[in-house]
Amino acid sequence: MSPKISDEHKELRRQQILEAAERVFIRKGYEPATMKDFVEEAEMSRGWIYLYFQSKEEIFGALMEKFDTANAKEMNEQLEETDSTWEALVALLNQQKKDLSATAESLSPTFYEYYLSGWRDSLRREQLTRRFERSIAGYTRLLQTGVDRGEFNPSLPIALVAKIIVSQLDGILSHTLAVGAEQAEADRLLDALIVYTRQLLGVSK
């Protein structure tokens, strides 16, 4: 009974479902969102959606994957756009300003809810550990590129510098969620992080 459609069409449908689910998660958060909500938001039949995803968990997993892939792609693009690893890193950190100003209308609160409310759930803990490792590995690779190019002469191991950067970004994000970008002074915190990172990396002119 499943309709015959091309791979391209399939991928388009899949993206439409993910976009609809993202809007629902942003509006309602994780726990209250249901497959029924996604069906209504996507304006597809229930059967269509279940061809692609069996559960809310699966849809959320696909959304996380989509965002992680997009972030990795952005990092690579920034690196390709310029010969300067430092400029690529600054562009990435400055991009966070834009992201943070829209954080309340993003998936961030739902990500936090999923991981922190689900903190006692071993599956979510494993996912969280994998995402942590992926994020640190991404920044470490970027820093290694700068070392290889002779741009950086870091005073600390680059994996530790990556952890400093990512933990500070997460701290700024959580404050922005808590009280808003303005009261948290998110932009100034990011500017300070850029200055600090430059120094940790011993960036040459």
Interface with a second copy (CB under 8 A): 29, 31, 109, 112-113, 115-117, 119-120, 128-129, 132-133, 156, 160, 163-164, 166-172, 174-175, 177-179, 183-185, 188-189, 192, 196, 200
Q: Minimal distance in Å, beta carbon 179 to a second copy?
A: 5
Helices (H), the chain: 7-28, 35-42, 46-52, 56-81, 85-101, 108-112, 122-148, 158-184, 186-201
Q: Minimal distance in Å, beta carbon 144 to a second copy?
A: 17
Distances, alpha carbon 55 to alpha carbons 29, 50, 64, 103, 106, in Å:
16, 8, 14, 26, 22
Q: Minimal distance in Å, beta carbon 36 to a second copy?
A: 19
Residue (97 or 163) nearer to a second copy, CB: 163
Q: Minimal distance in Å, beta carbon 90 to a second copy?
A: 18
- State how far the Cα of 38 lies from the Cα of 49, in Å rounded to an integer: 8
Residue (14 or 198) nearer to a second copy, CB: 198
Residue (49 or 184) nearer to a second copy, CB: 184
- State how far the Cα of 154 lies from the Cα of 167, in Å rounded to an integer: 18
Residue (10 or 188) nearer to a second copy, CB: 188
Angle between helices 7-28 and 56-81 (to 10 degrees): 100
